Every structure is written in structure tokens, then in C-alpha cells.
Amino acid sequence: MALFELKERAKWSYDPEERKTAIRELTMHGTSAVPSLEEILSVTAYEDIKKACAEAIKDILNIKRTDEISTSNNDLSSKVQKKEEKQEQEEKVVTEPSLADLPP
């Protein structure tokens, strides 16, 4: 279902469970759903819906941070791996004898 439809269902549905279901479905859309969740949070008068929106926003932002951290860790580990490979290649070049090192 589209973000707009989910947002409207979460804001205006008579059934509290339908509102919560719409909020859960919005959460699955990731960071693009945060503005909709913030709008729902500002419009609703129901504390349970406000709490659900706040938790959904928090979860989305935590997932985003976790993804960013894992991406930066992957980048860091690949840089370390490349550096180690480069050092190994340099060591191979230094330890292998060349023709100039052989006696006449």
C-alpha cells in the first residue's frame, strides 16, 4: 500500500488496531516513512498511537545508523585488507632475488 494511504489510515481510522497496523506497515518503508510518522504523531490525540509512532521512528533511525555503521566497518575492513595485500606484494618484490644479485 502507498505511503499516503497508510498515513491516512493511521491518522483517521476508527479502529485503533488498524491504526497500529498502518504504522507497522509504514515502518517497513524505512526512512521515507519518517515524515509521515511525524505527521501522524503531531495530529493524533491518542497516546498509544503517539507511542507507536515514536517507537517506529526510533526503530527506523536505529536501523539506518546500524546500516551506516556496518557499511563503514565493511569499508574499513576492505581498506585494511587491501593494505595488507599491498604490503605482502611489496615483501615479495624485496625478497625475490634479481639477476643483478646473482654472481658473475
- pLDDT greater than 80 at residue 74: no
Residue 31 makes CB contacts below 8 A (sequence gap 6+) with 60, 61, 64
Rg (Cα) of the chain, in Å, rounded? 27
Q: How large is the average pLDDT for residues 65-73?
A: 62
Residue pLDDT, tens place only, 13-40: 999 999 999 999 999 998 899 999 999 9
* Per-residue pLDDT at 92: 62
Asked if 20 and 4 count as a contact pair (C-beta separation under 8 A), the reply is no
- pLDDT greater than 90 at residue 70: no
* Domain boundaries of the chain, sorted by first residue: 1-71
